[in-house]
């Protein structure tokens, strides 16, 4: 990593822009700008309304500047370019996606998170119906329990879930053996569900 003229206090400087009506933007230079040589200037912008109310975060980027070439005026210019627009759904303040990098597509944080929670709940419900149907099929085949265990790979990597169906309740040693055979470093992360 290359040394820059910026001190650690400059890295944590907060820039504020008052938008009127109690709305303000706060920005800081993202830590990744200092962590990776050649990383472009990127600021994380937070939208606030009223004391303590956060309405979301977004990023503004200047790909022509880096940690060693940007100045305070570059950060201020990026912050001045950020626009706020009313959420198309509820009219709350939201980031204008044409001026920042965000996945909110113009929605305010509340509307975006509401959509996300709804999608998650629908996916979760569909998954639970799928598991229940599989449990019923396995019960008709004579199985009495489902073991849902999490495999924590010994070599690292993402954990993943495995299900086993048995025609008799297992002992803890049997379940540990099943998890061990899958290469799990953790042998007690499981649940036994009676069908």
pLDDT of residue 11: 58
pLDDT of residue 74: 95
Q: Tens-digit pLDDT profile for the chain (195 aa)? A: 333 444 444 457 999 999 988 899 999 999 999 999 999 999 999 999 877 788 999 999 999 999 999 999 999 999 999 999 999 999 999 999 999 998 899 999 999 999 999 999 999 999 999 999 999 999 999 999 999 999 999 988 899 999 999 999 999 999 999 999 999 999 999 999 999
pLDDT of residue 63: 95
* Strands of the 160-166 sheet, one edge to the other: 160-166, 145-151, 190-194
Neighbours of 65 (CB within 10 A): 18
pTM, to two decimals: 0.68
C-alpha angle 176-179-184 in degrees, rounded to nearest 5: 115
pLDDT of residue 60: 95
DSSP assignment string, 57-103: EEEEEEEEEETTT--HHHHHHHHHH--EEE-TTT--EEE-TTTSB-S
């Amino acid at each position: 990593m290359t040394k820059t003229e910026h001190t650690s206090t400059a890295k944590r400087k907060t820039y504020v822009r008052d938008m009127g009506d109690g709305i303000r933007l706060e920005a800081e230079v993202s830590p990744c700008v200092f962590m990776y040589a050649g990383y472009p200037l990127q600021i994380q912008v937070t939208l606030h309304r009223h004391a303590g109310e956060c309405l979301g975060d977004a990023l503004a980027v200047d790909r022509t500047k880096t940690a060693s070439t940007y100045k305070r005026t570059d950060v201020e210019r990026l912050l001045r370019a950020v626009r706020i627009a009313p959420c198309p759904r509820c009219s709350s303040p939201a980031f204008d996606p044409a001026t920042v990098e965000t996945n909110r597509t113009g929605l305010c944080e509340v509307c975006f998170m509401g959509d996300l929670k709804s999608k998650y709940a629908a996916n979760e419900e569909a998954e639970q119906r799928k598991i229940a149907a599989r449990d019923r099929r396995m019960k008709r085949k004579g199985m009495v329990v489902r073991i849902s265990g999490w495999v924590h790979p010994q070599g690292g990597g993402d954990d993943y879930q495995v299900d086993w169906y048995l025609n008799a309740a297992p002992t803890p040693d049997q379940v540990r053996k099943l998890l061990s055979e899958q290469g799990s470093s953790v042998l007690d992360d499981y649940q036994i569900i009676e069908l």
